[in-house]
Chain A
């Protein structure tokens, strides 16, 4: 790409670049998430491809001005397809010294820094741990710095509106947004419309934000500081209607779609937990879809209520993060034993314990796989990108309903809060996942009476019938005690228990015949290196594999959406590659599953820093694996 800092154009018409990575950083109270979000929204509507990475502290209000309180939002926009929020930002917007100090190291050499000089007071410098002002001591010699007194310019701009100075300062993020929007020739319309709508009930705040935004824009245009703005053209992509969507919204919408496609009302039992709560918030809005959301007294009641609703014939869902899954463990075992459909959503975060609540990790794979007592297998589906959470939710619901089983749906903090453009599907193309309730007796007893056996299985899927209360003649009792094969009556018979354990395991294993084979991308034939990934590492792996291929090496990529059971062709793919690597944001959980299942010498590439892999990190790791 053209490096923005090096391109000079005297007539100040925009200079085209093919992509740019911008990082907005400031104090938690500075509104950087909002600023990044708005810049993203304007870029999305403009038609760029994009990917975002919000990063914020776990504290709602960490001490102002400190390194701990820095909140950042990285957005990568491009005129071609991209899959990650980018390795190193080209532009850093630093609203205070702490933001500069914590984020500067990420910037590319020769990158651009915009600082709010008003915030570089002695006190703020001290809080950030600067002994000398970095604006004057040569710290920033390797980058291009634009010093802009954003706070005072904002105050000036909003003064005519009669806004109090303290309130005026709050609009400075809109000044920054206006300036960056000018720099990257973003259309102003979407932001101004959003301000008017969002602050409709507070006209003065709306007016102030509007004025600050316009002032930032005008500052770029009139101040002689900048040589020219840049332009990033819309990306070329398949025709259709697109919207920018985060993983949590896509997942929630996927559940709404699953409700429609199954013809069943949705029941969500959930307890608030970061980073999963947004799914509860989102689904709570859609009452006209017949969706019942229940904020339970705890995680156990979240899944408990969902099990009750599943018994009643609803498409039942519980949403949580790792600590919540741990609490739900016993109830998940009950759902395995009851053989009722249930979707358990785990938006993974850094662990163990409270861990890193706002950061991402993929370390719940073992918990999803094994986190229950006894032999209690359940299917696992994992989304690979924010938008892919939509399809993953429908797929999890499909498997749950068809096989009458709890299904674990894995996402993570990065997918949950990150966003990307999504081509809105045609509703008529969505899969039919409808199921039929039992309505008739299904067995004849020795006396010739028609009876209902709740555990008489479909010979193909091994799923048991789903007879919901209210159906006359099919009254039955289910429970967590082992049941006799067929009748479902309590049974302590050793041989029966073994048969039931095998039946439950076979049922889940058999789903392999009902899921798509894993698709190999890149060098599908004769690759030197096979990369196997799952979940949110998809974008970084894809980017890194492309770079390694650009260096003339042959790399194939298999990305797993189904982690239990594995796709039917995975063993064959592994067998025909000599070198297999598995990048994961954990200490090698998938690689160990692969080793156990396929006796393959899968090498693990791991990272547990609460942030995704960058493509650069994986590129280096792949090259090392190739001995290059």
Chain B
């Protein structure tokens, strides 16, 4: 691909897609394939790296460079690639088990370092590929094959985790709204640094309907709280509900009529401090309460790879390019003359 004008077909590989019929992964793949031509990149300069899990099959279905690696390690592998090759557009794809359980460490470190990665976290709150065990985002009490008496683990909220790691870009979307997904993916890709998008994804085989009470067409208006930069945080069919910050600094859902429009929080994704974004991420304790979606945080912070490169350039500027012969003679040495 020499031209930057591409079509969705240029981005689709010839491999047969092998997710279960009806899986939310299909709509996410479609959103990415439709979006890619709009972003102006080329398949040659784009790399998708995944771990292990259903969603980690993703790279096979895109005609870009790709690596289907090992469980949990995609953020680490992608970090190496992104740091070595700043010219590439590197995406990371994985599920909640992959990136929050076995690979949780790599995820938080990629985020805190602000490696230039676009990370798509498919959250279906279940282990799909291993056939239905509870995951680190499953709700407490979940009955699965490995928890016949209900799970005891308190779940992670991926957006809270990312904000806790001070990720410079954090967003949430869901697999039922292609337009919103494409918008979030576009924002994440255009962000320089580590960008995490949590995608509520339905696993219709092992956890069907996990997000239905908030993402179904009939529920959305009342159950999804769209975060839009510079606008009051309001939702409901008539935008009759909103979010305020109380005297204790806690986010609260209120009736706009009760508090007045001026009291409603105006969303500012660019706040340097992640505290308020964190508060918003705590509004819902699970996908059965009104849940914010959209960009929680988008701040400018130097990305890791360009700082690494800057150090290399500065060193070269100071002392010229490395000279191996000079290096080998840089320590005290002595001559032995021919006998």
Taking beta carbons and an 8 Å cutoff, which residues of A are in contact with B?
41, 44-47, 190, 234, 236-245, 253, 256-257, 260, 265, 267, 269, 286-292, 294, 296-298, 300-301, 304-314, 316, 330-331, 333-334, 338, 424-425, 427, 469-481, 489-490
- Find out whether the CB atom of A239 lies under 8 angstroms from the CB atom of B85: no
Asked whether, in the complex, the Cβ of A292 is within 8 Å of the Cβ of B308, the reply is: yes
- B325 touches which one: A314, A427, A474 (CB < 8 A)? A427
From A41, which residue of chain B is reached at the shortest CB distance?
B332
Known: A243-B333, A289-B322, A305-B77. A475 touches B312 (CB 8 A): no
Q: Give, as a whole number of angstroms, the nearest-CB distance from A608 to chain B.
A: 33
Contacts of A237 in B (CB 8 A): 336
Contact call A475/B63, Cβ cutoff below 8 A: yes
Contact with A along B127-142 (1 / 0, CB 8 A): 0000000000000000
Indicate which residue in A44, A300, A424 contacts B73 across the interface (CB closer than 8 Å): A300
Q: Which of B43-51, B190-198, B200-208, B245-253 contacts A (4 or more CB under 8 A)?
A: B43-51
- Can you list 7 A-B pairs, Cβ within 8 angstroms, ordered by A? A243-B328, A267-B80, A269-B80, A294-B83, A469-B44, A477-B59, A480-B69
Instruction: Name the distance in Å between B2's Cβ and chain A's nearest Cβ.
Output: 6
Asked if B322 and A331 make an inter-chain contact with CB atoms under 8 angstroms apart, the answer reads no
Tell me, rounded to whole Å, the shortest Cβ–Cβ distance linking A39 to chain B: 13
From the candidates B85, B106, B324, B336, name the one contacting A242 in the complex (CB within 8 A): B336
Which residues of chain A are within 8 angstroms of B84 by Cβ–Cβ distance? 265, 267, 292, 308-309, 312-314
Report the Cα distance A269→B136, complex, angstroms. Answer: 28
B13 partner, pick from A253, A308, A477, A481, beta carbons under 8 A? A477
Residues of B54-91 whose CB lies within 8 A of A: 59-60, 63-70, 73, 76-85, 87-88
Contact of A477 among B2, B65, B77, B324 (CB under 8 A): B65
Q: Is the CB of A334 within 8 A of B69?
A: yes
Set of chain B residues within 8 Å of A472, measured between Cβ atoms: 1-2, 42, 44
Closest A residue, CB atoms, query B60: A477
A316 CB to closest chain B CB (Å) equals 7
Inter-chain contacts of B334 with A (CB < 8 A): 44-47, 241-243
What is the CA–CA distance of A165 and B20 in the complex, to the nearest angstrom?
Answer: 78
Interface-facing stretch out of B32-40, B118-126, B295-303, B313-321: B313-321
Considering only CB atoms, which chain A residue lies closest to B316 in the complex?
A: A288
- Checking A245, A256, A297, A301 against B331 with a beta-carbon cut-off of 8 angstroms, the contacting residue is A245
Q: A294 CA to B77 CA in the complex, in Å?
A: 12
B107 to chain A, nearest CB (A): 10
- Which among B15, B47, B338 has the highest number of chain A CB atoms within 10 Å? B47
Bound: A482/B78 CA distance, A: 21
Chain B positions within 8 Å of A265 at CB level = 84
A316–B333 alpha-carbon span in the complex (Å) = 30
Interface size on B, residues (CB 8 A): 63
Q: Closest CB of chain A to B110's CB: distance in Å?
A: 9
User: When A and B form their complex, which 9 residue pairs have the shortest distance between CB atoms, in order from nearest?
Assistant: A308-B80, A479-B68, A305-B80, A289-B322, A304-B76, A308-B81, A287-B315, A301-B76, A309-B84
Beta-carbon contact of A479 and B69 below 8 Å: yes
Please state if A240 and B336 are interface contacts (CB–CB under 8 Å): yes
- Contact (Cβ within 8 A) B325 A470: no
With A287-B316, A301-B79, A305-B80: A470-B322 Cβ-Cβ less than 8 Å: no
On chain B, the residues within 8 Å of A294 by CB distance are 79-80, 83, 308
B315 A288 Cβ-Cβ under 8 A: yes
- Selected from A45, A240, A304, A427, the residue in CB contact (under 8 A) with B77 is A304
CB distance A316 to B332 under 8 Å? Answer: no
Q: A308-B79, A308-B81 are in contact. Are A45 and B106 (CB under 8 A)?
A: no
CA–CA, A204 to B70, complex, Å?
55
- A300 contact from B60, B76, B319, B320, Cβ within 8 A: B76
B339, CB-defined interface residue at 8 Å: yes
Q: Does A469 contact B324, Cβ atoms closer than 8 Å?
A: no
- Alpha-carbon separation in the docked complex, A35 to B70 (Å): 48
Q: How far is the CA of A238 from the CA of B336 in the complex (A)?
A: 7
| Interface contact A286-B66, CB-CB below 8 Å | no
Please tell me if the beta carbons of B45 and A260 are within 8 angstroms of each other in the complex. Answer: no
Closest to B47 in A: A469
Contacts of B43 in A (CB 8 A): 475
B240 close to chain A: CB less than 8 A: no
Q: Which of A45, A306, A473, A476 is within 8 Å of B332, CB to CB?
A: A45
Q: CB within 8 A of A308: which of B46, B63, B77, B328?
A: B77
- CB pair A478–B66 under 8 Å, yes or no, is yes
Residue of A288, A298, A304, A474 near B312 (CB, 8 A) is A288
> Are the CB atoms of B322 and A290 closer together than 8 Å?
yes
Quick check: A288 and B320 within 8 Å, CB to CB? yes
B262 at the interface (CB under 8 A from A): no
Q: Which residues of B contact A292 (CB under 8 A)?
A: 83-84, 308, 312
Q: State the CA gap A360–B48 with chains docked (Å).
A: 42
| Neighbour of B336 across the interface among A47, A288, A334, A476, CB < 8 A | A47
Smallest distance from the beta carbon of B315 to chain A beta carbons, Å?
Answer: 4
Taking a contact as CB atoms under 8 Å apart, the answer to whether A260 and B76 are in contact is no
Q: How far apart are the CA atoms of A46 and B329 in the complex, in Å?
A: 16
The answer, yes or no, to whether B146 is at the interface (CB within 8 Å) is no
B residues in contact with A242, CB < 8 Å: 333-336
Q: Are A308 and B42 in contact (CB under 8 A)?
A: no
Chain B residues near A289: list those with CB within 8 A.
321-322, 324, 327
Bound Cα distance from A308 to B74, whole angstroms: 9
CA gap between A244 and B332 in the complex, in Å: 8
Asked whether B257 is an interface residue with its Cβ less than 8 Å from the other chain, the reply is no
Write out, one digit per residue, whether chain B residues 5-18 have a CB within 8 A of any chain A CB (1) or not (0).
00000000101000
**Given the complex of chains A and B, what is the CA–CA distance between A392 and B335 in angstroms?**
24
Instruction: Indicate which residue in A236, A240, A314, A338 contacts B67 across the interface (CB closer than 8 Å).
Output: A338
A291–B49 alpha-carbon span in the complex (Å): 24
For residue A626, give the distance in angstroms from its CB to the closest CB of chain B: 37
Q: Which residues of B contact A296 (CB under 8 A)?
A: 76, 79, 109
B237 at interface (Cβ–Cβ under 8 A)? no
Most chain-A CB neighbours within 10 Å: which of B63, B316, B327?
B327
Contact of A470 among B44, B63, B73 (CB under 8 A): B44
The answer to whether B80 and A427 have CB atoms under 8 Å apart is no
Q: Are A469 and B88 in contact (CB under 8 A)?
A: yes
Q: Does B285 contact A (CB under 8 A)?
A: no
* CB-based contact B338/A301 at 8 Å: no
Give the residue of A241, A304, A338 whose beta carbon is less than 8 angstroms from that of B333.
A241
The smallest C-beta distance from A263 to any residue of chain B, in angstroms, reads 12
- Bound together, the chains give a CA A301 to CA B106 distance in angstroms of 7
Q: A286 touching B15 by the CB < 8 A rule? A: no
Closest to A242 in B: B334
Determine the distance from Cα of A20 to Cα of B81 in the docked complex, in whole angstroms: 51
Would you call B216 an interface residue if the criterion is a C-beta within 8 Å of the partner chain's C-beta atoms?
A: no
Q: Are A297 and B105 in contact (CB under 8 A)?
A: yes
For B331, give the chain A residue with the smallest CB separation. Answer: A243
B311 at interface, CB cutoff 8 A: yes
| Pair A308/B76 contact, Cβ less than 8 Å | yes
Chain A contacts for B42, CB-based, 8 A: 472
Alpha-carbon distance between A286 and B66 when the two chains are bound, in angstroms = 31
Q: Which residue of A lies closest to B102 (CB)?
A: A300
Complex: how many Å from CA A480 to CA B65?
Answer: 15
- With a cutoff of 8 Å between Cβ atoms, the chain A residues found around residue B335 in the complex are 239-242
In the complex, what's the smallest C-beta–C-beta distance from B253 to chain A, in angstroms? 37
A427 to B73, CA, bound (A): 38
Complex: chain A residue closest to B312, CB-CB: A287
Whole-angstrom CA separation of A366 from B306 in the bound complex? 40
Q: Contacts A338-B67, A469-B45, A472-B2 known; A312 to B81 CB distance under 8 Å?
A: yes
Given A44-B334, A243-B331, A288-B321, A469 contacting B85 (CB threshold 8 A) = yes
Q: Which residues of A are found within 8 Å of B319, using beta-carbon distances? A: 288
Can you add 16 more A-B contacts, CB < 8 Å, to A239-B336, A472-B1? Answer: A243-B329, A287-B315, A287-B316, A288-B321, A289-B321, A291-B322, A307-B80, A308-B67, A312-B81, A312-B84, A313-B84, A316-B80, A334-B70, A469-B65, A479-B59, A481-B68
The chain A residue sitting closest to B56, CB to CB, is A479
**Complex contact B80–A256 (CB within 8 A):** no
Contact status B80-A470, CB under 8 Å:
no
Contact between A253 and B327, CB atoms less than 8 A apart: yes
